[in-house]
């Protein structure tokens, strides 16, 4: 598709807006999205790390309990997570039900047991 010269509109004597046909605008947006996708792929290849399945991301975005989502993603039972953190299974259950808040110390243990980056805000687990 050949891009035509846009119509330039002036505001107070200065060029401020460009008008392009809708088909051309859609083409421009598509190309920008493709470039953004390619950049993301290059970045991912240059900085390999853990990838998170869309299901996990969607559950987190939907507001499900973060501790539970990560525990299940890691294939852990409540008891296994409790043992790894030195707390009781009912305590983990209460955290996952959002009926109890964890201390900063327990949040650190949870992040470690769930193999989450400690650079993340620990409050993101609750």
Domain ranges in the chain are 7-46, 54-125
Per CATH, domain 54-125 is 1.10.260.40: yes
Q: Which residues contact 105 (CB under 8 A, 6 or more apart)?
A: none
Q: How distant, in Å, are the alpha carbons of 45, 66, 119, 122 from that of 114?
A: 24, 11, 14, 12
Contact status, residue 59 vs residue 69, Cβ threshold 8 Å: yes
What per-residue confidence (pLDDT) applies to 1? 67
What per-residue confidence (pLDDT) applies to 6? 87
Extract the runs of DSSP E, i.e. beta strands, from 1-126.
7-11, 14-19
Q: pLDDT for 56-108, tens place per residue?
A: 999 999 999 999 999 999 999 999 999 999 999 999 999 999 999 999 899 99
CA dihedral 100, 126, 106, 103 (to 10 degrees): -60
Regarding predicted confidence, which is higher, 44 or 21? 21
What per-residue confidence (pLDDT) applies to 114? 95
What per-residue confidence (pLDDT) applies to 33? 94
Q: What is the mean pLDDT of the segment spanning 5-12?
A: 91
What per-residue confidence (pLDDT) applies to 78? 98
Regarding predicted confidence, which is higher, 96 or 5? 96
Extract the runs of DSSP E, i.e. beta strands, from 12-53.
14-19
Query: How many CA atoms does the CB half-sphere of 112 hold within 13 Å?
Result: 11
Q: Which residues contact 2 (CB under 8 A, 6 or more apart)?
A: none
CA distance 45 to 42: 5
Mean pLDDT of the chain: 89
């Amino acid at each position: 598709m050949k891009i035509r010269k846009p119509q330039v509109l002036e505001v107070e004597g200065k060029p401020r807006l460009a008008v392009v046909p809708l088909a051309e605008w859609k083409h421009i947006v598509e190309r920008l999205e493709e470039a953004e996708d390619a950049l993301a792929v290059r970045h991912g290849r240059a900085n390999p790390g853990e990838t998170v399945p869309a299901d996990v991301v969607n559950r987190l975005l939907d507001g499900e309990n973060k501790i539970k989502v990560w525990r299940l993603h890691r294939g852990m039972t409540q008891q296994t997570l409790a043992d790894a953190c030195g707390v009781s299974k009912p305590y983990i259950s209460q955290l996952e039900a959002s009926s109890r808040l964890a201390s900063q110390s327990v949040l650190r243990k949870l992040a470690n047991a769930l193999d989450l980056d400690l650079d993340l805000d620990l409050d993101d687990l609750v």
